[in-house]
Amino acid sequence: MQKLVRLHYYLALLALVFSRAAMADCGDCAAIAQRFAQKEQFNGVVLVGQGAQVDYVESFGVADAETKRPITADTRFETGSISKWIASIVVMRLVQQGQLSLDEPVATYLPDYRKDTGSKLTLRTLLSHSSGVPNQVDAAVKNDPTVRDLTLDNAEAVRRFASGDLAFEPGTDWDYSHANWLIVKAVLEKVTGNSYPALVDGYVSKPLGLRDSGVFIGDSAKVAGMARGYAGLTPQAEPLSKPIPNFMMLAGGYYTSANDMLRLLDGLFEGKVLSPDRAAELMAVLRPDQHYALGGRTKMLMLGRQERSVAWEYGSNGAFRVLAWRTLKDGHSVIVMNNTSFDHQKIGDLATRLLEASYR
């Protein structure tokens, strides 16, 4: 019996040693992040990993200033425009299954859409912001913030905010237009007969075992486990919320945690959602001046003394800032999440230092 107890003790000790070694693979990451957090009063979570392995993760500050609930690696954050990348992953899954084509005219899927432009637009031009569809939805929100509180079906949302005259011929230029995603939502739900949240759950969350991810509408504070958004925490907490209307969920309605984001990055590029060919097509740059692919960006960064291709995902909405980078060849990843309107340039600088440190 004593031998068995000692065996269990040594096995537990061995597991602890290996656990600490795994967390120490990025030896400089803790010092980099902790200095940054102290100097900049950063409130959020930082994670560095390779493949599915977490090499370093640390949380700073509070998810809820009123209750003092701390941020953890499982705290949920709005992801802003990373939502567009998630939508593109869903589209590519349906392309892989033969239910959609990136180059079929939108009129094929939405016969009631205006004929002159519906025959020119494709999912490829919509997902790459090269459609020419004017950004009427942002203009409408700017003129009347109560537009954020509307609930509209796809036909009405598209008619109001995504049916303007094209600003340029599809594929000839680039314009970051949220109106594109209203059309994509209409296509997805028309072709599949399922709601967009159900598609994300079925094609992304369940296959990858994501526990703290999904789609929300309205005020994200209503989602259990979500970080609250703040314009700042000093000298007092200033709440900040920008509700997402139901017709904008593809453009900004996705939430996730740092742990889930790593699972998503690893699962996507390890073939658990898309085939290697479809994942490569998802990340292939179509608008070089913007490094823009389908719903996200691919950039070349100098890391570990060589240029590496990086899935470069960044999103913001209201107080939330989320960055998720992954080197495409060897899976080095860095994830930074914030809920206090932090300077996005400083977040990018931190991520660059952490990703470089992961190669040392």
Strand partners, 324: 313, 335
Mean pLDDT of 116-134: 98
Query: d(Cα 218, Cα 216) in Å, to the nearest integer?
Result: 7
**Residue 156, pLDDT score:** 98
Q: What percent of the chain is modeled with pLDDT above 90?
A: 92
Kindly state the DSSP code that residue 244 receives in the 8-state scheme.
B
Q: What angle do CA 132, 134, 136 make, to 5 degrees?
A: 160
Amino acid at 40: E
- The per-residue pLDDT for range 174-205, each reduced to its tens digit, is 999 999 999 999 999 999 999 999 999 999 99
Confidence tier at 25 by pLDDT (50, 70, 90)? confident
Query: d(Cα 88, Cα 225) in Å, to the nearest integer?
Result: 26
Query: d(Cα 228, Cα 226) in Å, to the nearest integer?
Result: 6
Mean pLDDT of 24-38: 91
**Residue 27, pLDDT score:** 85
Mutual angle of helices 154-161 and 179-192, in 10-degree steps: 150
- The per-residue pLDDT for range 288-333, each reduced to its tens digit, is 999 999 999 999 999 999 999 999 999 999 999 999 999 999 999 9
Q: Above 80 in pLDDT, residue 213?
A: yes
CATH superfamily of 26-357: DD-peptidase/beta-lactamase superfamily (3.40.710.10)
Q: Is the peptide bond before 170 cis (omega within 30 degrees of 0)?
A: no
Mean pLDDT of 203-232: 98
Query: d(Cα 150, Cα 133) in Å, to the nearest integer?
Result: 21
- The per-residue pLDDT for range 231-247, each reduced to its tens digit, is 999 999 999 999 999 99
Confidence tier at 16 by pLDDT (50, 70, 90)? very low
Q: Which contiguous run of DSSP H or E holds residue 208?
A: helix 206-208
Q: Above 90 in pLDDT, residue 6?
A: no
Q: Domain-by-domain residue ranges, the chain? A: 26-357
Q: Checking DSSP bridges between strand 214-215 and strand 53-60, what pairing results, if any?
A: unpaired
What DSSP assignment string belongs to 111-163?
Answer: TTS-HHHHTT-BHHHHHTT-S----HHHHHHHH-GGGGG----HHHHHHHHS-
**Residue 10, pLDDT score:** 35
Which residue is listed with tokens 């190669």?
359
3-class SS of residue 230: strand
Which residues, 6+ apart, have CB-to-CB distance to 172 below 8 Å?
130, 132
Query: d(Cα 303, Cα 332) in Å, to the nearest integer?
Result: 10
